[in-house]
Amino acid sequence: MTKTEKFAHNNSEFEIRTTTRDDGVEARTFSKGKHIATYSATYEMAGDMLHGGWGNVADNLVDFAKTDIEHDQLPGLKAVLEDK
């Protein structure tokens, strides 16, 4: 199952694709169709987060990805945004 969420930041469009995999959950960020970063958690981590009061792991991965973009924390982000 894949869920796609789009959002804008600083006049740029981003896409975060969340996917369930055999070994856990993965969120991948894209801009202009180019991969920027991957966030992942095993199902064991997901269970620990849920029981620890952190909520749904997929939602948290999306939040982490958005925060990294909004705070310019990704080394490859500038190159992707400057590539026409």
- DSSP of 1-64: -EEEEEEEETTEEEEEEEEE-SSEEEEEEEETTEEEEEEEEEHHHHHHHHHTT---HHHHHHHH
pLDDT in tens, 31-58: 989 999 999 999 998 888 888 888 889 9
CA distance 74 to 68: 6
How many residues appear in the chain? Answer: 84
What's residue 73's pLDDT?
82
Q: What is the pTM of this model?
A: 0.83
CA distance 48 to 24: 13
pLDDT in tens, 10-36: 999 999 999 999 999 999 999 989 999
> For residue 53, what are its two tokens?
């009061």
